[in-house]
Each structure stands twice: as structure tokens, then as C-alpha cells.
Amino acid sequence: MGEKAYKTMSVSGAFNIALGISAIVVGISVGVISIVFGSKLLANKKDITF
């Protein structure tokens, strides 16, 4: 019984670490893309007419 719980906890821990790493990578990517597109919008602000 104890071995089954140990294996379950091991798999769960590995999954949580992988999920955390992927969340960090996605967060950094979205942040960089937002900064790039925001700077492009600010640079082209003078060309916008309403």
C-alpha cells in the first residue's frame, strides 16, 4: 500500500514541476511578445488618424 502512494506522489510531483516550467516559459513568451507589439504601436502612434 505504501509503495502505491509513493509512486502516485512521485508522478504527481513530476507533473507539477513540468507544469510549472511550462507556465513560466509561456508567461515569459507572452510578456516579450506584448512588449514588442506595444513598442511597435507606440512607434507608429503618429501615423494613426481618427
pLDDT tens-digit readout, 19-39: 999 999 999 999 999 999 999
Cell numbers describing residue 35 = 512588449
Residue indicated by cell numbers 510531483: 13
**3-state class (DSSP) for residue 49:** coil
> Is the pLDDT higher at 3 or at 28?
28
pLDDT tens-digit readout, 37-46: 999 999 998 8
All structural domains of the chain with their residue ranges: 24-50
> Is the pLDDT higher at 47 or at 33?
33
State the pTM of this model.
Answer: 0.70
Is residue 8 pLDDT above 90, yes or no? no
Cell numbers describing residue 44 = 507608429
